[in-house]
Structure 1
């Protein structure tokens, strides 16, 4: 009987050892197995959302995936507060590139912050230029402004919500063009720092919790990415050139090679909403001058041609005859007046 219990105990121990060995083997296999590729997030960096997973909604910008690039060795990951962006540099840009970039940036400022103050418009322009230097976004101004428009998954809400169908007002467009020209000429709005995103007070997008707010300007809150991708070191990409306008964007006039934008005067001035063309004023008809009435003749001529002279005035103008002076006759003899 004792031998039977010992045999059962030995079987149980053997079974337990087998189960333990299988568990260890499975654990080792999990640790060495090749897992599907997933974005690796270092401590202090924001989680990378899926590309175009978060389109812009009213009053905000959309967000895209962080670039699948290795962070340079020794890069500073810790946040260092608000750091002003570097001035925008054109690099290799043609006159067409400059004109189109001016057009796209003006449209973004007008439709995204048309009712904001000058600082509010400068902050939006700074976000566009910050994105153009960041490797997560296109390397052109128009590419940034109209990113995702071909899939109706826009990064700026105005490009997909039908706002471009509204004819801009001349005064508002000119104001936005001046802000765009200053930004493209090297002007920097330092308070928003390296912000690449913003949203209004009326919305609360999901991505703002994974970012660092840099400033509040007007009705917008501005944010940058955490960690290395929100630092100045990550924004060193040069301007690429080759600006392209989408078909739905208001196309600028043909740029002239002798006019170098940016300058607000080079942009076409859109007509005022509801304005009707002023009809051309008809040319005045040349009237044939009527001949002037003949000038009236002198008094003596009128008297000579008139038969209405009174008898008492018929002898007016003749010399007064004096009785004591003889009148000369035709023969030369003096004629004495006999009248008394």
Structure 2
């Protein structure tokens, strides 16, 4: 090495020494910049975060990538798959075949259950759709609900206060034309469920709601699992045991759709500043009121629970026309 550096004399030698020094400085950076899977001899395609895969994402799927978010109590063995997070020990619903008395009854049951699956879980993985179907059939077998598939699906659809059992049946969602491919998928899930295919992870659940809301009744029921974009619950006490699901399917589907064929629009409560008359730009001259005449009453503002405007009073008329 000494002889090598002695031979590097003059400008050429100094240039070579500088090049060697730069190489020694840059080499470690080049090594650390290499992907770790290449250094280990692995395949870069094998190291993919499952949360980034398109087929593993759906509304609410972030909950399934949250480690420990829904861990059950110690000692409770629950189901845990790609789209199912068990919250409690479950017992599968009793198996049953739901066959109508006539071909028309069977067709109506299939169509009603398909509608529930499509409008409630049309964009979810199959686990989410099968769970919704099982809840409907659990209600058919329970004395707390009607003994027909269509009766359960469209219970309360005659109401005008939007308090039906399944919101799609009374909020106008069915006015949208279904997508053919998604409808066929939901229909296949419905056919399997009616043929006796039990979806065990949902257990004896009879209620569910989306991850985006928390209804008042959820605190009085037992959470069973998070499946797809919904949390599923079963009744406490006897109504949540297998013995309570012994009702016989009647087999006569007398209805085939919601009781209403048109749905009223949800009332929209206007903000208080829209109900009150606009503030005048210029002060109007005072005119004495005519005898026997009184100004019409000003409508009282409605408290809609929204935060009040923070715009200063002198700027509230900005943008309004002068006439």
| TM-score normalised by the chain length of structure 1 | 0.49
State the alpha-carbon separation in 1 of the partners of residues 171 and 200 from structure 2: 30
1:124 aligns with 2:135: no
- Could you report, residue by residue, the CA deviation over 1:59-114 in whole angstroms, capped at 9, with x for unpaired residues? 9xxxxxxxxxxxxxxxxxxxx94110012323662211110000000000000000
2:219 is matched with: 209
Q: Kindly name which structure, 1 or 2, has the bigger radius of gyration based on alpha carbons.
A: 1
Give the drift of 1:221: 0.3
1:147 is matched with: 155
State the alpha-carbon separation in 2 of the partners of residues 247 and 207 from structure 1: 24
State the alpha-carbon separation in 2 of the partners of residues 206 and 224 from structure 1: 15
Aligned length: 172
Aligned pair partner of 1:107 in 102, 115, 134: 115
2:312 is matched with: none
Aligned pair partner of 2:106 in 98, 106, 126: 98
Aligned pair partner of 1:167 in 146, 170, 177: 177
1:245 aligns with 2:256: yes
**Counterpart mapping for 1:28-47 below 5 A:** none
Unpaired runs of 5+ residues, structure 2, are: 1-59, 61-87, 262-323
SS of 1:137's equivalent? coil
Give the drift of 1:215: 0.8
State the alpha-carbon separation in 1 of the partners of residues 260 and 194 from structure 2: 19
Cα 1:171–1:138 change in 2 (3 A) is same
1:336 is matched with: none
1:183 is matched with: 193
- Could you report, residue by residue, the CA deviation over 1:265-299 in whole angstroms, capped at 9, with x for unpaired residues? xxxxxxxxxxxxxxxxxxxxxxxxxxxxxxxxxxx
Moved over 4 A (4+): 247-250
**Counterpart mapping for 1:8-19 below 5 A:** none
State the alpha-carbon separation in 2 of the partners of residues 110 and 143 from structure 1: 17
State the alpha-carbon separation in 2 of the partners of residues 151 and 136 from structure 1: 19
Unpaired runs of 5+ residues, structure 1, are: 1-58, 60-79, 251-340
**Counterpart mapping for 1:1-340 below 5 A:** 81-90=89-98, 93-152=101-160, 153-243=163-253, 244-246=255-257
Cα 1:177–1:92 change in 2 (3 A) is closer
Cα 1:121–1:249 change in 2 (3 A) is farther
State the superposition RMSD in angstroms.
1.9
* Contact kept in structure 2, 1:91 and 1:238, CA below 8 Å: no
* Contact kept in structure 1, 2:158 and 2:170, CA below 8 Å: no
| TM-score normalised by the chain length of structure 2 | 0.51
SS of 2:201's equivalent? helix
Task: Report the structure, 1 or 2, having the larger helix content.
Answer: 2
Query: More deviation in 120-129 or 87-96?
Result: 87-96
SS of 2:234's equivalent? strand
State the alpha-carbon separation in 1 of the partners of residues 166 and 136 from structure 2: 10
